Chain A
Amino acid sequence: MTITDSSVDAAPVPPPIGAVGMARWAWRQLTSMRTALILLFLLALGAIPGSLIPQRGVDPVAVVEFRNRHPELASWYDKASLFEVFSSPWFSAIYLLLMVSLIGCLVPRTRVYLRAVRARPPATPRNLERLPEHRAVTLDPGADADPETALATAAAALRRRRFRVETYEGSISAERGYLRDTGNLVFHLSLVVVLVGIAVGHLYGMRGSALVVEGQGFSNTVTQYDNLRTGPRFDVDDLSPFTLTLKDFQARYEEAGNQRGAAREFEAKVTVIDAPGSPPRADGIRVNHPLNLGGSKVFLGPHGYAPAVTVRDGNGNVVFAGAVPFLPVDPVGLSSRGVVKVPDAAPTQLGFQGFFLPTAAFDLQRGPFSTFPEPRLPRLVLNVWSGDLGLDDGVPQSVYRLDTTDMTQVKESTKADAQPLTQSLAVGDTMTLPGLGSLTFDGYREWVVLQVAEDPGRTPALAGGALALAGLLASLFVRPRRVWVRARRDEAGRTVVEVAALARSEGPDLAADVDGVVEALKSSNSSGSSDSSAATAAAPKE
């Protein structure tokens, strides 16, 4: 660096490189390998909190729980977008900078690469014996022993070894392994393709889920989803127009051993109507075997039980009849918790809450619980609340939770010290609520969550991944090297051929290439005496 100001008294000022100079300097810094390395480390470091702090996109429930437990910390996390690391501005900044650095590195390298690919293998160095691998062969005098023929033989041998060969005055130059640089460029460019695929999926894709009870249908429209996330560029009118009906959900569980109750097989039997007007057809959805319906994939999600009940009110009218999905709370026995809300009951609204136990058991420690996920001894255990369900307040309510603020629990009797009414019902049983009505446990059905996803970016992303792998293999395993052959006559008029090789990357077997050429020369020069007199092989340097 030079100081342009000639005045000695003046404080040293930075060189006036100007805005263009600054930009060029910044660009050079950004596209240097060192910066790329640092950005790679930052990317790795930045991903760590995303794996340790609950992420909204991965497990929203865990985020809510974390917030309740650590409200103070959560507000700090919010400021740093730590609940959504992978879409946070700082994480995006890292990978976008890395991409810019990558492209900035690729463009000049592609230019160099294209020039190198078109260039002739370089001229033969003067001192071949200085190269890491070198042999000299003296040919026996004969018809085939002039330098031109020897060079032609060597060139043919090198071409057979898939070298690109160029003839110079009295020598030939050969090079192979251009695929290494090709692979390197393809690998890095493919990463950009993968990123584009991810972006396309984000913009034009959708993901949704819906809980469907056996016997019920699902048609692929916005209103039918319990949960739907669409990309900013996704048009909901483009939802594939299929309809599904869940005929039957089948599950098989481990019967014995310490994994008793563990899931072994799930299948949802469905009837599919691909588009309005097409004939219904039977199909099945299993884990790992989604259904492909016009660009959308339908996956089998969680499953559970929906007890079917009939509720009569105090006047004896049927005010509710149907299957109500309960949510599993215990993965082993599939005990499920749920709520039946009956807003139309008279004289007061009714709410039932409790458990569905597929294979019921009871002990003093746990109370009622389930020992097996299959319905072998199904019981519905409920208690009852009467009053105002709070459904008209305008506040959205969970269908799985009872808001008991304006309700009173129904007791076993009207006595002052009566216990709250809790009853365990077998299929067909009825619980009677004096003056308020009754509930009959009619049976149960199973439900599944169907997850629907559409991702037009997955094909480009996969293609990018496959290309990246191919490029990576080429860039790591193709070993570029150069071989030179020079032939001349010595004082005695015999032809001396020198063969030498140079590695342009780590680890190619140069000796094999050189030996190959020497062998070809010897075998075409076999008219003379034994080859031991002909070859003077220099010892390999390694």
Chain B
Amino acid sequence: MRIKNAVRYKAPIEMLKPWFILMLAVIVIAGCAKESSEAAPSEAKQITVASSTDSGINRLDAASYEGMMQAYPLIYDSLVEYGEKGEIQPALAESWDISPDGKEYTFHLRKDVQFSDGTPFNAEAVKFSVDRWANKPEHDWLLTSKNLKSVEVIDEFTVKLTFTKHYYMTLAELSYPRPFRIMSPTSVEPAGDPEGKFVKAIGTAAWVQAEYIQDVQTVFTPNSTYWGDKSGIDKLTFKVVPDSQSRVLAAQNGTIDIAGGEVSKIPLESLSLLKNGEKTKLATQKGTASYFLVVNDANKAIADKKVRQAINYAVDKQSIARDLFDGTGSPATGILPTTNAYVSEDNNKGYSYNPGMAKQLLNEAGWKDANGDGTVEKEGENLVFSLVLQTEEYPEWKPLAEAVQDQLSKVGIQVELKVLEQASYYDALWKNKDYDLLIYRTYADAFNPLSFLMALFYKTNEAPAVAFGTEQLSSLIDRAAATLTDEERFKAYNDIFQLMNEEAMSVPLFYPDDLFVVNNRISDVQLGATTFRPIVWEKLRLDEQR
């Protein structure tokens, strides 16, 4: 019997085999990581940035959507850049004039600019880039492309764009990472043909492509002909690290110098490790996006304004920001944080945390907990909402959803969480509306507020709004889009945000900060105004002592 057993014991050991292999792999990987960190110091001043996806530099046509968003501004400049709170700043265009009817934009270009291959930058080059994107169906979501009538070269350094309609977002859209940035006519074959085939990314911006291994890394070196400030470093490497935990480990051991933002999100759980780490520090600034709940008014209960307001009152935004997310953002008030253009403290009041008020509103709407089971009901039916979320892109949405579920349960609203995989999640949001509540995020910086409102809250005769829309809101959005002056725009957006707030068209939850983990040897970290220029790379300096 004993001897027999010895032979038969093989089975459990066999079952453990994968674990042994896994452990071995972990040991080997850990070993590798250590070695490479020791080999890191080198002659050139180089900084390595983690990116979650490949830069796609070999397909980085300025008028395409192929590459990583943050790669475009490294190579290509735009006519104007987007600054804090939507202030438009000069870039390749020194100044610009807008005709009184808002249809003609005349840009006066800088005269001291060259493309990185020596091609002169002038009005003809701008016309080439404009011709490449103008009126193409894939850019129809941007009215700047859709409504463009003509592009004229006035003289060597003056160019005029004429549109069929006035649209105040034109300058902001021109600052987008793509597709409106200016690319060299020599980037395509045959050179200068707007329909030509893209061959190489050549622009006027601070960096040029030096080396590229797909899905491994992309190395940029400073553009020697750049018109702006000279870079403080010799090499900027974007290393592809898709897994967030690996990014944390790599940042800890110094294999990568910078990670974070939208380039490569760092998990909130690891912030305490990185905050005052042996080799790392954090760089943060207030973000322009917010996390919020989309409410589906196809649900009869949610169609009642009082229920929507009750949900808003029931969510403890302070506790979410302070306790759940450890202060890595701010408690939400309105749908957009005040870091955005046209959003102010006054038009962004939101709802305070007031569970008593929430219960009262539910009561007024006819939802009462008569049977004492902790859930309110009306005509014998419990108030139960589904809450849809995804965790691939936003792992922190799961604890967020669980916190919201818990808070709503305290006023008698039962929430069932549905964690969907990314594709089904986006289907639920954009196509089949198969949810009662859904966690989403607003767009960021230059896309706010108009592109974001248009995408989610705009209702037409043909199509309902993606999130929550009323006729009144749509006409207000139309009015905002057609405004000619900043003053009118402020008024229009005041009305929009007040209406959205009063009607409780969404449930704002949290304003996340932009977070970056940075190696201690780097000084002068200046965070950018947009998610596509997250850090002013040229200004980075290395501390010499280390």
Do chains A and B stick together as partners?
A: no
